[in-house]
Amino acid sequence: MKISTKGRYAIRMMIDIAENQKDGYVTLKDVALRQDISKKYLEQIALHLSQAGMLRAVRGYQGGYMLAKDPSEYTVHSVLQVVEGSMAPVSCLEQQPNSCERCHKCKTLPMWMELDKLIFDYLNGITLEDVIEGRAGAE
């Protein structure tokens, strides 16, 4: 599994918004400047996150974006899943139930299932607040 640029930027954008929304809605222009990311690219990411209900958007003067919930309520996994889609390490785990014709006799499937569970448990155990507070990956 490889997290794309879109996934990494989505996490950075959500953290930036969380850290700067205390003064009101945060513009993508400001996020782009602080994070050194193209505003156009952030617009694409923000659209996905807004449609998923993770961001609230206001257009016009003094408009911008704000998290729909507290940073403690968003896991890294939930954000990545919106912009990346499946987080499964192998394609046969992307559909439930598993539609692979070999799944009932596949000797490697349990290994991939365990890796998928480890990835999910790890990323689902880290909130945006954990990242902001420096508690993620600190052990």
Looking at residue 42, what is its pLDDT? 97
Q: How far is 13 from 57, CA to CA, in rounded Å?
A: 14
Torsion angle, CA of 102/105/106/112, rounded to 10 degrees? 100
Q: Bridge-partner residues for 57, per DSSP?
A: 65
Cα–Cα separations (whole angstroms), residue 75 to 101, 107, 122, 124? 33, 32, 10, 5
Domains of the chain (ranges; CATH) run 5-85+127-132 (1.10.10.10)
H or E element at residue 65:
strand 64-67
Q: How far is 27 from 55, CA to CA, in rounded Å?
A: 12
Looking at residue 136, what is its pLDDT? 82
H-state helical runs in 1-139: 5-20, 28-35, 39-51, 76-84, 109-124, 128-132
Looking at residue 103, what is its pLDDT? 80
Q: Note down pLDDT in tens along the chain; length 139 residues.
A: 789 999 999 999 999 999 999 989 999 999 999 999 999 999 999 999 999 999 999 988 878 999 999 999 999 999 999 999 888 888 888 878 877 888 888 999 999 999 999 999 999 999 999 999 998 876 5
Q: Model-level pTM? A: 0.89
What angle do helix axes 5-20 and 28-35 make, rounded to 10 degrees? 110
Q: Bridge-partner residues for 26, per DSSP?
A: 65
Q: CA 24, 30, 32 angle in degrees (round to 5)?
A: 135
Tokens of residue 87, six digits: 């987080």
